[in-house]
Structure 1
Amino acid sequence: MEILPKPASNKGPAHMFAGEVWFDVIARGEEPSQLRVNMVRFAPGAHTAWHSHANGQTLHVTDGRGLVQARGGEIIELRPGDTIYTPPGEEHWHGAAPDHFMSHLAMWEALGDGQEGPETAWGDHVTEAEYPKGQ
């Protein structure tokens, strides 16, 4: 058994996020594990760009109110305790509602042996027309 040191919080990079986003790495997927886990904190209105994960992603909301949308799907409101699974390759975005903070655990698997390509494929930012205002 080992207690791992807590790394410093990281600011979400502008090419991946709109608004103020901070994340803490909890699990890095070091061999033999492929599991990666981040605690992500979004300021009101902050959200990811469109993206997809080679091995899918699970989000578990821990605090606040958030939004998630798959490309072409409806926007879904998230509250504490909600868990969302996005299958491999499905483009989506997620983040805080316009007037609330939101925190979630983001869980996904690193690329395994024989898998090629990006673990996470980042796309365009969500447009003002796509992100709802004042929900």
Structure 2
Amino acid sequence: MPGNVFDQIFPLGEKNDAFAQYFTGQSYLAPLTSGSVPVMNVSFEPGCRNDWHIHHGTDGGGDQILLCTAGSGWYQAEGEAPISMEPGTAIRVPAGTKHWHGAKADAWFSHLAFITPGEGVGNEWLEPVTDEVYGRLPRNGANA
């Protein structure tokens, strides 16, 4: 655990061992709510990112909402420019969108994440974001 290395308003949580196979680097997971719309605080050590993935769902379900609460990170949908995420950034990822998100190379990053409820909600994990693709992103700051 990083101790006081990373200031944020929500708990860091435990090492995200259950999903470690879908991440490059170390992430942490803190469940904040349960029920029909569970909300998780996901924290990423510098350089950590998840693999490309798609959230599926119908009848309004499967959209992912990401709310950056601390640090600095990236969100990228396939075929689109990466978006810099800073505290206060909110992103809606429509169901069926191939995407990834994670920390910038030199910063911790934390976001709240939840999926809208509906029918057939599920997650499809795909290939990792390669070091080559990740390495082309700016190290600090603005959109690529």
Tell me if both proteins adopt one fold, taking TM over 0.5 as the criterion: yes
1:122 aligns with 2:125: yes
Task: Identify the residue that residue 91 of structure 1 maps to in structure 2.
Answer: 98
More helix by share: 2
1:133 deviates by: 6.0
TM-score (norm 2): 0.76
Q: Which runs of 5+ in 1 are unaligned?
A: 1-5
Q: Which runs of 5+ in 2 are unaligned?
A: 1-10, 57-61
**Counterparts of 1:92 and 1:65 in 2: how far apart (Å)?**
17
Task: Identify the residue that residue 68 of structure 2 maps to in structure 1.
Answer: 61
For residues 3-42 of structure 1, the aligned pairs below 5 Å read: 9-12=14-17, 13-28=19-34, 30=35, 33=36, 35-42=37-44
Aligned pair count?
121
Of residues 76, 80, 84 in structure 2, which corresponds to 1:73?
80
1:9 deviates by: 2.5
Task: Identify the residue that residue 49 of structure 1 maps to in structure 2.
Answer: 51
**Counterpart contact for 1:110–1:119, Cα < 8 Å:** no
The CA RMSD measured in Å over matched residues stands at: 1.9
TM-score (norm 1): 0.81
1:134 deviates by: 2.9
**Counterpart contact for 2:54–2:95, Cα < 8 Å:** yes
The structure-2 alpha-carbon separation of the partners of 1:43 and 1:10, relative to structure 1 and needing over 3 Å to count, comes to closer
